Copies of this chain bind each other. A is one copy, B any other.
Amino acid sequence: MNIEQEDNRLAAIFKVLSEPNRIRILRILYHAGRELTCSEISQQLNISKSTVSYHFKALRLAGLTNTRQEAQAKYLSINRAAFDRYLPHFLETL
């Protein structure tokens, strides 16, 4: 990958992290120590499910979270490998 593309990739990851509600989602996930669903986050943050779904997608596309489907629910968890690579020690500060 050339250096311009690398800059774009890095900027894209930061863009995902540049939204307070997405930081909150990561913090909640990190401290929960377990997977959480869209609905659970929606209640905790008091924002609509559609907005939470939108943020979930952004986090997932950036590779910052993992998703596990179980029945009709979708469980979100943090992808530690991605954080270790791009932002070591970031999660611990949340």
Q: Could you tell me which A residues sit within 8 Å of B by CB distance? A: 3-4, 7-8, 10-12, 14-15, 17-20, 22-24, 27, 87-90
Contacts and interface: CB of A to CB of B under 8 A. Distances in A.
19 contacts: A3-B27, A4-B20, A4-B24, A7-B24, A7-B27, A8-B20, A10-B17, A11-B17, A11-B20, A11-B22, A14-B14, A14-B15, A14-B17, A14-B23, A15-B15, A18-B18, A87-B87, A87-B90, A88-B88
Contacts of A19: 11
A23 B18 CA distance: 14
A91 to B, nearest CB: 12
A7 B14 CA distance: 14
Contacts of A17: 10-11, 14, 18
Contacts of A24: 4, 7
A19 B87 CA distance: 17
